[in-house]
Structure formats: structure tokens, C-alpha cells
Structure 1
């Protein structure tokens, strides 16, 4: 059991420590945690001397009391009430503690120094005893009049000072923004009591020079994480790091304890720490302040040094041409009964295009569904086209806006194949004369964020370059010195004010480098090497086909020619000689016949046909062909001889064997 007790310096306080009846005769103990000493009241005593600062008194029935007189600020801390128990070993003392008491001691007139910075903000929390949590709180600067906080549990503004009287905790919260030198001074943070005021003087110093970074803007996707970078004075290195978000009144309130688990703090370097917000939701959008927190007995102060404007977006939606896509719009439960809007462009602005509202009937290609039990408004776009790409906003009135990107992937993909060491040209269509780029990545959002190689603004990047053919509506990406690692998925993209249109590209790089001829002679050379090393191997295999037409042109010319040329030449020469002999005989016979009958050479005479198995004396010609003689044979004509002299021509024609 734990009890919190708030008291003032100089007062006397009494605690009651209840125990079971079985311990009424046991020794009672009062112990100060971590600091000691132990105060003991023996069972034979009913009370200690009234002269003591800490007095124990036992009723011997159901409780003993502890009284601390004239308490000081040093008496604050944690105390334990207990009873001794008897064990089997009398040399060992066993104590059962039955109550824990946390004592807070307040001074009626404390003073605390607070450091802040020009143009920044400061958040101060003043603590008061719980017994005064319902009393009115006040702020008083220097000797000016008190500013009474009339309303509890809500923010009250007075000029630049915002105040919040938290009656449940007994706290007064003070927030001062846009600090200037005029805001320096002593602020009395107090509570009205019957006979007097209880207060703490806050001596505020506003430093005019700081080295903190300027305000920044950050964007986070719902469900992911975001990191905010903050500065703090190095002299506050041992203090707590703090982050808070402005409310609708631009007051930086504390992060609730339920959200603390989503915030992770780490010091990255001297004077710099980071705050990581995990599992971002739509409610996390807004203005954040961060800084170093210092704690005192009477108050906590946070000097806010960095401002961050955090925008929350929905994850991008990717749709393929001709298909359907859903845009899901989460909203706060308080908006469940209100009209939801989906717009192309920010809703309620002049250029916004209304797509559909939750109270409208479905439209061609557009349907909507509002699931109030899930706080989700869903719009389905069907038969997607290139012009559907763009930024869409979900809105409830003008106070709640979330946006997402609808990225369109064209239906027809581009596939290219090239060889290692070579180059490839990839041409993609574009629809509007806007910024174009070429990137690599399996996922579009990663490709756009981290994978851009070349673009309209950066036309050359190492081995990548891009050229435009505006009249044809085509841009071409060239990649040189290809390697196998270049294989993968790429995207041709066109972007205009957040409107993305993509063409999917698949590149396959095949083959190896020059040194791989050795490897390819064992693999690909079964196809090619049988045209390269096969000049070595196929001269023993294929040359049995070709080499027997090449070396066989040399060997078969030696072998076949010895057979063919040997046989055909023998036949040709033999037949030629025989025919020549026959013709000579016939010529001689003719001459003899003419002489015998007195026929002159001037008189034409018919050469008698002498039967010789039907064979006539023919004109035989031998003519050398371009090819070798071994490829030739004799040809005969059946022309009759009408001249007085027989012409013998040797005519050799290609072999038809």
C-alpha cells in the first residue's frame, strides 16, 4: 500500500500504520528508504520520548503511529512502516513492511531558475499539495496584479500567457510562446489558501542568441515511423528529453502516458537528440516542439527549442491501367456522422475536383462506402486510365485532410534482352510534357525515393543517359557496358505535381565477358564452340562431313581423284584414243577410195556410213573446266562429219557420277 503525503516546511505530520492482530506484541519499525536510519519501537514500549523528532506510538490493537515534527525540505522522501517477525535463527531479523509513504515537503516561498530562448517557447508545471487541488491558482509577474485562473481543467489565456488548472493532479500549467526580452522576469506561480498563499517564484531568463536549427517540415506515412531531430543546451545533458504537440489553441500540451510507448528518444551527438514516433496515425499530424526538461521539487520546466511541422499521408495507391483501385480514408470517430469527401486536389480549395461524397450515389467508374463502425471511408475507382493518376485528398469539413498518391502503371510492359558488355536502348511513351525519369526497384515508392538513375533534369548518370523525342511522345534510356547485375525490374515514369504514370521495364542481360570464352567453350560452344573450337573438334567430327569436303577436298582429292581421276581419265583417254584411231582409219579409207575412183578433192562426196555397232565418228572435244580434271568426264555429240577433215576436240564436262 502506497500513500502520498504533501506537507509544508515547519509543519508536524502523523502517519498511521495498520497491522494484523497477530503482530500486536511484535516490535514496530519505521524506515526511510535509501537514507535510513531505522526507528524501532520495542514491544515493551507504548511510545518513544516526545523529545524525539520522529515519534512512534503503538496502540497494541491494530495500528501504530509515526509523527515527524518540524519537517524540513530535507525530510521529503519515501518511508516504510513495518513489523519484525520471528524466525528460527534468532540472530537474523525479519521485517514485514506494511505501508509505503511518499512525503513531499513544500516551501511556502521557493525560488527556481528557468532558462528559455528568444522566439521559442517555455512550458512550466507548478506542483501543489493535493489538499489544495480545488483551490484557485494564480500567476503574478513581478509586482503586477495576480492573474487568477477562474476555470479549472481548461486552458485560459491572458495576453501571451496560457494557464491550465488541473484539479485532478493539483497542478498549474503555464505556457508562454514567442518569447522576447520583455518576457523576462519573476513569475509567482501560486495557490490561494485561507490564511496565506503558497507559491513558487519562477525566475525566467530569455536568452537572445541560440544556435538551434530553424523550424522544419517532415512527412510520415500512416503505419510507418518518422524521426524528428531536436537540439538542447549541452549544460542540460543529464536532463530528460521532451516532445509535445500543439493543440488547436497552439499550446504545446504534454504527450499522454498512453502514447509514450510510441516515442523513442536517443542522443545522436552533443546537444542533439532524436525522437522517433512509431506506427504513425492520422492523429499525429500537427506542430511539435521538443527540448530539454528540468525538474525541481516544486515544478517542472521544459525549454522548447525546435519546431516541427509534421504532415501525415496515406500510403500510395498503385493501380494498373484497366483495373480497379481502392482509396481508403480513415477518420476520427468524432466525424462518423459527418459527410466525407474525396477530391483530386485539396478539398475546399478553388482548384479541387470533387470525386465523390459519402452522401452521393455512385458514379460511372466510381463507387463509395462509409463504414462508420470502422471509421473508414472507401472509394473504388474502376477502369483506370493514365489521367486518373494524381494526388487525392480525404476530408471532413476543412479541419481534417489526408492525402495519398494514386500511381498508374500502364498495361503494356517493356521487355529487353542484351548481352554482357553491350548496350541497350529502352523507349517509353509519355503522355504529357512533364518531368520524366528512369529508376530501378521492385516497389514503386522505393524506386521513386531511392532508385532514380536519370531524369529530365539529370540526363547523364554514369552508364545511363536519356534522350527525348518530343514529337513522337517517346523518351529513350540508353545503358552501356552492361553486366549481369543490370538485370532486373526498372520503371519509366512521368511526374507532374505528384501525378505519376509508370511503364514497367524488364531487362535481362545474358552471356559473360571475354574471359568467359573458355567457359562458353564448354557450354555455349556446344552451339558456338562447335563453330569456334569445333574448328578444332569438328575438324575431327564435322570434318568427316565438311572436312571430308575440305580436307577431303585435299584428302579425297588425293584418294577420290586417284580413284575417279585415275579411272575417269583412263576411260576418257582410252575412249578418246580408240575413237581417234577409228577416225584416222576412216580418213585413210576415204583417201584410198577417192584415189581409186579418181575423185578429186574439189568434189564434195558423202562419207559412207560404215556400221560399227551404230557408232559414228564424232566430234570429240576436251575443254578444261574451272574445276579439277578429276571432276570431269567425256561428253559425246551425235553430229555427223560433213567436212573433208575431221576436227577432234577434247571436251571435258563436270563429272556426273
Structure 2
């Protein structure tokens, strides 16, 4: 940028009023500013003055600019100082002892400023100034505040009336001593220039400031060079500057600048940490050059896909962005207001493509569940898992450091997060990912999504025996009617088993107890039959508990004996037609559901195990070949229909034939 002391030639309307008094006209813009020069003499007078006299005149001090000179000369300004700006509210004056003029600068013009003024030297001379303030232009008197950040490039746009298209455009910086200037005739368009002025667009010019630093903070003015007429000034014209726009540039610092990588359709959780003394201060988030979004303290707010939370207790700003698209890529700034500035963290968010990782998991209340997550190459990174809330914000972050979940070591690019003793509160959507930590910023790129569905542990009863089904409810429903249904209550296919307000004597097989202190509704069913197997629901009004599965074990068990090295053919009766047949091993029948069957209707051969069905006879047969001693134990024949299980216990006893027996 080419900068220096202002050199402005004022347009003079040479009008002889009395003696040597001259007058000239200056045109300003309502709400804007004006700058002009009050000369000691006209050029002709000056050139005819002897050199020694000129030097003496040049040294005269005591310059002034005011209204009503012959009375109180207010409003106005005067000075005896040279090479220094003197300010009096909206007025400023600069006297250069090596020049034959002094400069007057008036800001924030209004129609009340319109009128006749006087400028001159206290001892020798004066000039009358006619100040004309116009307010009939849409571009008049614009005042804006712009914020920029260290290292950023910013562009200002300055609109002007079309009649000034060919006039010289001026961009001034008001920094107090003296004003620096960049105009369209001086500007270089080199990419190395700090300031670049361009006037190639319709009815406005632009000024770009590159690589902003603290030194660029201040007030700037956009203006046009003009004379009394609206025509472009000629080489001999005496001109002044009409400023049409004022820009206050605020330059904010940064605590840090970090690149965060996230993925299309996934989520990212970012935590900006500020110094302790600012934890109660107002915080904000901003994307690129958009408007700053200020955050309410201690509550989540959302703006499109961006959710923000100002945690004053921890002094951090939490940012969660979900369902990422390419449009979310860009530069984000999380900041905090200080006494006279902002502290900022700049986040360059990069969005990449990644394969889909969505999994559905089912967990039984009271048991454990494992959620698998893709592991980054950097094994030292802290692993995280979080659960979405009702607003789909992954608010609660748990890490391997906090031990909320048990994390396994990464193997083959995958690690697992285990939840033990699963409860109702654990149902929902989970995200997992790895943490990247910087000095003042932590980010967790969440790449794996899990839908965790919960089921109640099954209730297992034997044919002819009894079971208890327990239904908990909210204390607010203690006086309401409770229901137990086979199938989901209040639907067409549901079978009402019992209501808490019914006469229980009608069905002696069923008894109920409603403990309002424990908020527990208990149903006891006796003389169980195979057809009692199925899914049951507890309900109060339109509020449902999770369904539970009643599994029935048939009274008659199957006992089968065979020899090691031989084979066993085990026949299992089934009661219902068109059911899935299963055969599994374990102490409890639920093993067929949790760990899967050895063989089934869908997988009839599995190593030494095979399954065949004889539908007409109502049996299916499981054959185990090449029997081994460890095959001895408890097995289960099962039939399943729509989630309803009936089991038959099988005891397989193996013996070793002696040499004599084999002979």
C-alpha cells in the first residue's frame, strides 16, 4: 500500500466578498464524513509572493475552523500544534508546517451541519467555507462494524452513486496521526500487496486486506474525490473528499487453530476449552464469515445441524454436529467475549467419505452387551462412546479414561465397548469413535452408529408349575388400572390376561398383587401349559413396559444313552405346526436364543450334527455322529413361532464299551 500524509486540493469557488476574503464550497453526505483543505493563499497569490515572505507566512501558527467566527466560533476547532492531529468531538484538524494549507476533517455529518464556516490563521488571513450536506442518496452515511481474525483475508465493499463511476475512489484509514490513504490511481493489483483496491464492479469498489494482523485494527473510510460539480475533476480542478461509508474493523486473536477430520453422514463432538477466568463469559460459534451465534449458558441450542452448549462449570464450549454433509466443511470459530476483545479457536473441519457402519444390537436387561467400533490406526488415541438424547445430540460422552464402559484393546482394526448390568436407561442410539486432543481443543469423530434395543430377561416355567410376572410402573400411576396381556395391549390381536380391577375369582389359575409402595404389579399364573408360551406386555393407560418372553419347558424330558465313538439319534416332539425347530446345548434353555442353536430348520447340518423333520409324525430328529466323551450333558429341543418358545430337556449319557463287550 502507498500511504502518506493527505494531499488534497480543495475546490475553490473564488468569490471576492470583501478585501482578500475568499469562499469555497464543500459537499458532504448525511451520516458520512468530509475532508478538505484550507489554503493560506491561492496559487497565483502564493507564486507572486517573495520567497522570504512566503517562508515567514508558512511559519504562522494558530489555525482554526469554526462557525460564527465573529461571535463564539462554535462548533469548531483550533490548534497551534503542527504535524499532529487535534480532535474536538466530530472535528479534527491537521497543520503541516511544510505545506501551505491545513486539513479539516468532519465525521458523522447531519443536516444541522449545513451552512457557512470560516477557516484561517488567527493572525493573518481567513476563508469562508460553504458546507453543503446532502441526504438524498441510498449510499449516504453507511456505518458498519466488521470482524476479522488474525491471518484472515477480508474484503470491504463500498457503494457509490453511478455519477461517480469515473471519479477517483479513496480508501482512508483513521489512525489518529495522520490519516493514511489508498486511492484507485495509486493501487497496485500485485498479489504481494497488503491492501488491494479494485473498481471493476458496477457502482461499488472493493478493498481487500490480506493476512490481517493486530496493526490493521481501526476505522476506515470509503469515499470519492470530487469538486463542486458532479463531473470528474480535471487536472486543474481543486478537489475535496466526500466519504460515504465508515467501517470499524475489529481484529480478534486466536488461542489455537486445529484441523478436525469427520465423515459424511456421521457426527463429530468438539470441546473448546477457555482460560479459567473466562468460563462465565459469553461464548459463541461462527462458521466462515457468517454471523456469530451466541450461546445460552448451560443449555443446548441448535442451528441447523450444529448443536452448541456453554458449560460454565467446566469453562468449555461443546459443539455437536450430526448427519454431516459436504456443506458442513469449512472454518469454524468458537470464541469467548473478554473485556475488550474476543479469544478464539479456529477449527478447520474436513469432511471425508467413509463406509457405512450401522449396527443393531439387542441386550437383555441385567446382562451385558458389547458394541463393536472401528479403530483408527493410531492405537494410542482415547476411545469414546456416547448416547444420543431425545434431540439427537450425542451429549453424554464416556471414554476409556472415565471407565463408564469397559473398552477392549484394538484388534484387527476393531475395538469393543461393553456395557454391564444393562438397564432401561441404556436403550437408544450410540456413537463411538476416537478422540484427538490438542492444547485447548478436543474432538471426537464419531464413525460407528449402534441402535441398542432392550428386552426383559425371559421368564421360564415348567409345564404344570407356576410363574410370576412382575410389572413395574411409575408412581404417578399408582391408582390407575394395570393390564397384563399376551400380545401388545389395546391391539386387535392382544389377549387380555388380567386387569388389576377385575374379579380374580373368575380365573382361579391367576392371582394378582398391586404393591403401590413398591410400584409393582405382580401376576402369578399356575398350571402352566404349552400354549401359555409367548410374549407378554404390561401396560398402564398407553404406557408400556418392555415385552417379556414366557418360555415353557415340557414336563417329560428325553433321556438318551449312547457309546463314545458311536452315534445318537434324538427324537424331539413338537406341539405346533409350521414352527422353527432348534437344537442347542446348555444349562438353560435361553442359550438357544443368546448363543444360537447347534442345528435348526434353517441350518440342518453343522459338523457332526444334523437335523431332519417328520412333520406328519410331529417329531424332528437330531443325529450326532462320532460321539466323544465331552458330548455328554444337557441339550434342548426347541420349537419357536413368532418369538414364542417351547422346550424339551434332553439328557445325553455316554458310556465307554469295554474290550470284552465289543467282542
Structure 1 stretch 134-143 or stretch 262-271: which is displaced more? 262-271
407, 416, 423: which one aligns with 1:274: 416
Q: Offset of 1:378 from its aligned partner?
A: 3.5
Does 2:282 align with 1:136? yes
Structure 2 partner of 1:225:
368
Note if 1:111 corresponds to 2:264. Answer: no
Q: TM-score scaled by structure 2? A: 0.55
Cα deviation for residue 332 of structure 1 reads 7.2
Per-residue deviation, residues 576-620 of structure 1 (Å, max 9, x unmatched): xxxxxxxxxxxxxxxxxxxxxxxxxxxxxxxxxxxxxxxxxxxxx
Counterparts of residues 137-216 of structure 1 (less than 5 Å): 137-149=283-295, 151-207=296-352, 209-211=353-355, 213-216=356-359
Equivalent residue, structure 2, for 1:248 = 390
2:620 corresponds in structure 1 to 475
Question: 1:128, 1:142 → 2: CA distance?
Answer: 21
> Which residue does the alignment assign to 2:650?
505
Cα-to-partner distance string for 1:152-176 (whole Å, 9 max, x where unaligned): 3222111111111222222221111
What SS does the corresponding residue of 1:274 show, helix, strand or coil? strand
Q: How has the CA–CA distance of structure 1 residues 324 and 200 changed in structure 2, closer, same or farther, with 3 Å as cutoff?
A: same
- Structure 2 CA distance, aligned partners of 1:258 and 1:143? 37
Once the 2 structures are TM-superposed, how far is the Cα of residue 396 of structure 1 from its aligned partner?
Answer: 6.3
1:206 to partner: Cα distance? 0.8
Paired with 2:274 and 2:476, the residues of 1 have a C-alpha distance of: 35
Aligned mates of 1:166, 1:337 — CA distance in 2: 41
Residue 511 of structure 1 and its aligned partner are, at CA, apart by: 5.4
TM-score (norm 1): 0.56
Give the conservation status (yes or no) of the 8 Å contact 2:357–2:447. Answer: no
Distance in structure 1 (CA, Å) of the matches to 2:411 and 2:656: 49
* 1:240, distance to aligned residue in structure 2 (A): 1.4
Over residues 224-274 of structure 1, what are the superposed CA-to-partner deviations in whole Å (9 max), with x where a residue is unaligned?
Answer: 22211112432x433211111001111101246999434122332254322
Distance in 2 between residues matched to 1:120 and 1:426, nearest whole Å: 51
2:559 to 387, 394, 415: 415
Q: Tell whether the 8 Å contact from 1:395 to 1:402 is kept in structure 2 after alignment.
A: no
Q: Which runs of 5+ in 1 are unaligned?
A: 1-105, 522-531, 533-657
Give me the whole-angstrom Cα distance separating, in 1, the residues matched to 2:415 and 2:631: 40
Superposition deviation, residue 458 in structure 1: 3.5
In structure 2, C-alpha distance between the alignment counterparts of 1:131 and 1:397, rounded to whole Å:
52
Residues 480-629 of structure 1 mapped to structure 2, 5 A cutoff: 485-510=630-655, 512=657, 516-518=658-660
Deviation at 1:431, TM superposition (A): 1.9
Residue aligning to 2:585: 440
User: Would the alpha carbon gap of residues 232 and 360 (structure 1) be closer, same or farther in structure 2, given more than 3 Å must change?
Assistant: farther
Contact 2:487-2:493 at 8 Å conserved across structures: yes
Q: Secondary structure at the match of 1:288?
A: strand
Helix, strand or coil for the counterpart of 2:371?
Answer: strand
CA shift in 2, pair 1:218/1:398, >3 Å = farther
Instruction: Provide Cα deviations, 1:348-401, integer angstroms capped at 9, x if missing partner.
Output: 666544444667665733444455655654433322111111223455676764
Larger mean Cα displacement after TM superposition, 486-495 or 292-301:
486-495
Which string of whole-angstrom CA distances, capped at 9 and with x for unpartnered residues, describes residues 609-657 of structure 1? xxxxxxxxxxxxxxxxxxxxxxxxxxxxxxxxxxxxxxxxxxxxxxxxx
The Cα of 1:473 is off from its aligned counterpart by: 2.6
**How many pairs align?**
409
**DSSP 3-state at the match of 2:314:** coil
Q: Distance in 2 between matches of 1:270 and 1:508?
A: 41
Matches within 5 A, 1:52-67: none
Query: Structure 2 vs 1, CA of residues 265 and 461 (structure 1 numbering), >3 Å: closer, same or farther?
Result: closer
Aligned CA distance change for structure 1 residues 477 and 387 (closer, same or farther; 3 Å): same
Q: CA deviation at 1:474?
A: 2.9
Going from structure 1 to structure 2, the CA distance change for 1:427 and 1:323 (only over 3 Å counts) comes to same
CA distance in 2, matches of 1:300, 1:424: 61
Alpha-carbon distance between aligned partners in 1 of 2:600 and 2:639, rounded to the nearest angstrom: 10
After superposing the two structures, state which structure 1 stretch, 374-383 or 222-231, moved more: 374-383
- The DSSP-based 3-state class of the residue aligned with 1:305 is strand
Aligned match of 1:388: 532
Contact 1:439/1:448 (8 A) holds in 2: no
**Aligned counterpart, 1:404:** 548
1:507 to partner: Cα distance: 3.3
Q: 1:398 to 1:245 in 2, by over 3 A?
A: farther
For residues 354 and 206 of structure 1, do their structure 2 counterparts lie closer, same or farther at Cα, with a shift above 3 Å needed? farther
**Higher RCO, 1 or 2 (CA under 8 Å, sep at least 6)?**
2
2:427 alignment partner, one of 285, 299, 319: 285
Secondary structure at 1:489's aligned position in 2?
Answer: strand
Return the offset for 1:282: 1.7
Distance 1:338 1:114 in 2: 53
1:120 matched residue in structure 2: 266
